Amino acid sequence: MQYTHLGRSGLRVSRMALGTMNFGDVTDEPTSFQIMDDALEAGVNLFDTADVYGGPQSPDMAQGYGISEEIIGRWLAQGGRRREQLVLATKLYQPMGRGPNDKYLSAYKIRKAAEESLRRLQTDHIDLYQMHHIDRSTPWEEIWQAMEQLVREGKVTYVGSSNFAGWQIATAQNAASARNFMGLVCEQSLYNLTARTIELEVIPALRHYGLGLFPWSPLGGGLLGGVLRKLEGGRRMSTQMQNTVERYRPQLEAYEGLCAEIGEQPADVALAWLLHNPVLTATIIGPRTTDQFAQSLRALEVTLPEDALRRLDEIWPGPGGEAPEAYAW
């Protein structure tokens, strides 16, 4: 396994992070346990979850939210130094109840959400506590005061963000600096060959402030995982996915052709393309099965030649570089 620093912090994390959104939803508990065992055995030390993971992400459903954390908690409770080997990351923001203060990032919600996640995870601290989305109605003074309290109490070690814009990262860091607080150490964003918008301003902001990057949906919801070959093999897909495939069919044909030419699986190429970015800390993989997890590790061994990187840019062009040069002189 390869390791790197979590942003500008001294903490070292694996370049593959285990995403657990499927645990309790499409992946049952015994399989989830086995995937976590396999991940630990392979040297993956960063596990990523969220308070809403495990089913329909809405408190209006009879069950679902919180289940992923509970499964991880029961796995950790088996002992065997599982917890001591992990960098455990979770998130807060989304509704976890029907009350007016059961969502977003008020100090009240941050305190309550942290306590509930600690209970579900059966641990006394969260290594990386991530804000799942920006809260435009809560001032940073309130957010950082609540996070600082959790850090002082030893319940949270590092703080991260997810789905933030570049200017929001800058605002958060400036507010933290004024309080002599470390602030954010990483951002988790949508990023893959088909979705490169963050190259405009988010990635430059991360580089400037020394924050790590965790891309979510690295395979574009399955689009970059060899979807054409799977369709040819009789794989059934939703109408929405079929429509998306038709929309991108020329690019997918070129992409899968390039992957075949260099002798690598499409999913491995998509992950390897992300890993070549120096700002990226780790890519989050969300395996549904143990076989999917094992296959994902192959990406760490893939080195893409310059010609392949150039052709990937031609097939899946980004926004044209960083702002403002991407659209202005």
The pLDDT score that the predictor gives to residue 65 is 77
* Percent of the chain surpassing pLDDT 70: 97
Residue predicted with more confidence, 226 or 129: 129
Q: In what order do the strands lie in the sheet with 212-216?
A: 212-216, 184-190, 156-162, 126-131, 87-92, 46-48, 16-19, 283-285
Overall domain count for the chain? 1
The pLDDT score that the predictor gives to residue 94 is 93
Mean pLDDT, the chain, whole residue set: 94
Instruction: Give the mean pLDDT of 242-263.
Output: 93
| Residue 15 DSSP symbol | S
Q: CA dihedral defined by 220, 224, 229, 231, rounded to 10 degrees?
A: 10
> Given 3-state DSSP classes, what are the helix, strand and coil percentages for the chain, each rounded to the nearest 5?
45, 15, 40
- For residue 80, being part of any structural domain is answered with yes
- For residue 281, being part of any structural domain is answered with yes
- For residue 122, being part of any structural domain is answered with yes
41-94 residue pLDDT tens:
999 999 999 999 987 766 555 455 789 999 999 999 999 999 999 999 999 999
Segments forming the whole domain that contains residue 53:
3-315
Please, are residues 282 and 14 in contact by the beta-carbon 8 Å criterion? yes
The pLDDT score that the predictor gives to residue 57 is 65
- For residue 97, being part of any structural domain is answered with yes
Instruction: Give the mean pLDDT of 141-167.
Output: 98
The pLDDT score that the predictor gives to residue 63 is 54
The pLDDT score that the predictor gives to residue 64 is 58
Active site residue 209: no
The pLDDT score that the predictor gives to residue 35 is 97
Residue predicted with more confidence, 98 or 81: 81
- 46 strand-pairing partners: 17, 87
The pLDDT score that the predictor gives to residue 242 is 82
- For residue 264, being part of any structural domain is answered with yes
259-274 residue pLDDT tens:
999 999 999 999 999 9
CATH code of residue 266: 3.20.20.100
272-287 residue pLDDT tens:
999 998 889 999 999 9
The pLDDT score that the predictor gives to residue 322 is 96
Instruction: Give the mean pLDDT of 166-184.
Output: 98
- For residue 70, being part of any structural domain is answered with yes
- For residue 83, being part of any structural domain is answered with yes
Nearest Cα residue to 188 out of 51, 324, 6: 6
- Predicted TM-score (pTM) of this structure: 0.93
Please, are residues 201 and 322 in contact by the beta-carbon 8 Å criterion? yes
The pLDDT score that the predictor gives to residue 319 is 95
- For residue 84, being part of any structural domain is answered with yes
* Percent of the chain surpassing pLDDT 90: 86
CA 256/CA 110 separation, integer angstroms: 44
| Residue 241 DSSP symbol | H
The pLDDT score that the predictor gives to residue 230 is 82
For residue 97, name the pLDDT band (cuts at 50, 70, 90). confident
18-32 residue pLDDT tens:
999 999 989 999 999
Per the residue annotation, which of 53, 104, 248, 255 is the catalytic one?
Answer: 53
